[in-house]
Amino acid sequence: MRGEAWQRPKPAPDAFERPFFEAAARGELLHQRCPACGHRQFYPRAVCTACGADPEWAASAGRGVVHTYTVVRQNGMPPFRDALPYVVAMIELPEGVRMMGNVTGCDADQVHVGMAVEAYAVEFEPGLALPFWRPGR
Amino acid sequence: MSPRDPVIVGIGLSDFPVAPHLSTPQHHAQAMQRALADCGLAKRDIDGFCCVGMGGGGAEAMVMAEYLGIDHRYVDSTMTGGSSFEFHVQHAAAALRQGLCETVLVSYGSNFFSARGRTLGTGGFGGRGAGVTGPDMYQAPYGLSLVGAYALVAQRHMHEYGTKPEHLAEIAVGVREFAGLNPNAMYRDPITVSDVLASRMIADPLHLLDCCVVSDGGGAFVMTTAERARDLRQPPVRALGAAGGQTHWNISQMPDFTRSAAAQAAPEAFAQAGLAPADVDVIQFYDSFTITVLTLLEDCGFCAKGEGGAFVAEGHLRRGGRLPLNTDGGGLSSCHSGMRGIFLIIEAVRQLRGQAGPAQVPGAEIALCAGSGGFLSGIGTVLLGKD
């Protein structure tokens, strides 16, 4: 998808949130870890949801398994209406967080709970990217 | 009953399911007029007001208090999505007990269908091509529809517990049977499990007939004290217990995709009332989707986690079953104007008064309402009882 014009809703991160998207553009998938209590969380925010301390960025290996998913077959909103059917899944990372994403690179009917997937990045503007997922090992 | 125990004394519905002649404020006005006529109180008697809506810029209670001319001493605009009205019962009950006010109007109205059509479930999250912020940045770009969010719950439930599409379909079939008894319901023709499974897939595993209707409609109910209720037109319905909770707001943050906050809220409501699930005669549950009902059933303690499918298959939720569900035809077949929680309370009151006509559950004395807001995010449970 790199090079295509980005027509999807476009993230508008503030300075605190930008590192996630900048890292994704470098092929690195970030989440947060709390140095005080060890809690892992995603989406990134300014406080640990477990203990209230300041969380830090942490890298993941960029792999996960499908925790749950759906095949979207009706969506009236462009550009999604032109991409039907497509898979939206919750991906569970071994580091202990879940992320929403699209699973691409295989038939929608092949996606299943427990399926191994790996992340790849798609830039939505120069230097800022979002993770997408495809079958992995 | 103590003199300041909270009771519901008046109920009113505005025109539905399709009412192009009514704006959102007109739905509120009509519902209020009908609720006041029902109990015999005057508008000047209202000194407490609970109100939310899908417009109003978050200040719906202020906007509507001005429009309706409500002079309130107590106001509550708690917004938890479709379950807001169950939370309002909790708050209004506390306010009445404390003497903060004497008579509370809870009000909702929406011209959702006439204004926006059927796009609610499949319009996608976030703006089209526009900048998204906050948690939307990690969701909206992937095109999950509202139906799809609930599909994530259904898929996980099926994976963990072997729940089948037929189980979910059974819920829609039973609710449709009640809709056939409601002359105002949006869809009244009987359906079968095969019809549900044959309806087109919207977001796997949810079919068209697993999804609620989109309609216009409003409702209002009046709460006061047991003492004040004595000389009113209708038998009072007691608010025996009310509790709510939240596990997440965005669907991506749902900690356990098979469990809602009803697992904490319902036991608290039962404890307040000194009742147990076995005491409940009729249930009014938020049926945005069939999976919403299944999740709430388990979390409210009517069966163990994971056994909802088998429980439903035994036919308990049907007309004549031991736990009839959504006797007005529910959101699945009758009326869903964006935030359905108020209709749960109104239908439960009708049942406990014995005024539900052909849909009456014989001898109904205890009703449980379970509202769901967001994406099974904010759950409010209310136990109501015949006086």
| In contact, B236 and B387? CB cutoff 8 Å | yes
Closest by CA to A72, choosing from A58, A88, A61, is A88
| In contact, A20 and A13? CB cutoff 8 Å | yes
In this predicted structure, what is the pLDDT of residue A1? 45
User: For the packed helices B84-98 and B341-353, what is the interaxial angle rounded to 10 degrees?
Assistant: 60
* Token reading at B120: 């609610």
| In contact, B197 and B166? CB cutoff 8 Å | yes
Q: 């004595």: which residue's tokens?
A: B230
The answer to whether residue B69 is domain-embedded is: yes
Q: Do A74 and B126 touch (CB under 8 A)?
A: no
* Token reading at A65: 């398994």
Q: Nearest by CB to A68, which of B126, B137, B155? A: B155
Q: Do B141 and A124 touch (CB under 8 A)?
A: yes
| In contact, A132 and A104? CB cutoff 8 Å | yes
Judged by DSSP in three states, B73 sits in coil
In this predicted structure, what is the pLDDT of residue B124? 58
| Stated pTM of the model | 0.97
> Phi and psi of B380, rounded to 5°?
-120, 130
Q: What mean pLDDT, rounded, does chain A reach?
A: 96
| In contact, B43 and B53? CB cutoff 8 Å | no
Judged by DSSP in three states, B286 sits in coil
The answer to whether residue B140 is domain-embedded is: no
The answer to whether residue B343 is domain-embedded is: yes
A25 touches chain B (CB under 8 A): no
> Phi and psi of B151, rounded to 5°?
-65, -35
* 0.95 surpassed by complex ipTM: yes
Number of domains in chain B: 1
The answer to whether residue B231 is domain-embedded is: yes
Tens digits of residue pLDDT in A10-21: 999 999 999 999
Walk along chain B (387 residues) and give the pLDDT tens digit of each residue. 899 999 999 999 999 999 999 999 999 999 999 999 999 999 999 999 999 988 767 789 999 999 999 999 999 999 999 999 999 999 999 999 999 999 999 999 999 999 988 777 777 554 555 689 999 999 999 999 999 999 999 999 999 999 999 999 999 999 999 999 999 999 999 999 999 999 999 999 999 999 999 999 999 999 999 999 999 999 999 999 999 999 999 999 999 999 999 999 999 999 999 999 999 999 999 999 999 999 999 999 999 999 999 999 999 999 999 999 999 999 999 999 999 999 999 999 999 999 999 999 999 999 999 999 999 999 999 999 999
The answer to whether residue B159 is domain-embedded is: no
In this predicted structure, what is the pLDDT of residue A57? 98
Side-chain half-sphere CA neighbours of B180 within 13 A = 11
The answer to whether residue B156 is domain-embedded is: no
The answer to whether residue B253 is domain-embedded is: yes
Give chain A positions within 8 Å (CB) of B251.
100
Domain that holds residue B299: 6-115+213-386
The answer to whether residue B248 is domain-embedded is: yes
Which residue of B120, B136, B137 to mutate against A (max A Cβ within 10 Å)? B137
Strand order in the sheet with B48-51: B74-76, B48-51, B103-110, B217-225, B6-13, B237-246, B378-386, B366-373, B282-285
A30-89 residues touching B, CB cutoff 8 A: 42-43, 67-80, 83, 86, 88
Give the DSSP per-residue string, B207-252. Answer: EGGGB-----EEEEEEEEEHHHHTTSSS--EEEEEEEEEES-SSGG
What's the gap in Å between the CA of B251 and the closest CA on chain A?
Answer: 9
Closest by CA to B109, choosing from B307, B337, B341, is B337
Distance CA A38, CA B48 (A): 46
C-alpha angle B327-B285-B288 in degrees, rounded to nearest 5: 100
Question: Checking DSSP bridges between strand B366-373 and strand B378-386, what pairing results, if any?
Answer: antiparallel
Sign of CA dihedral A104, A105, A111, A116: negative
Region of B129 (left: φ > 0; alpha: ψ -120 to 50; beta: rest) is left
CATH number at residue B231: 3.40.47.10
In this predicted structure, what is the pLDDT of residue B125? 54
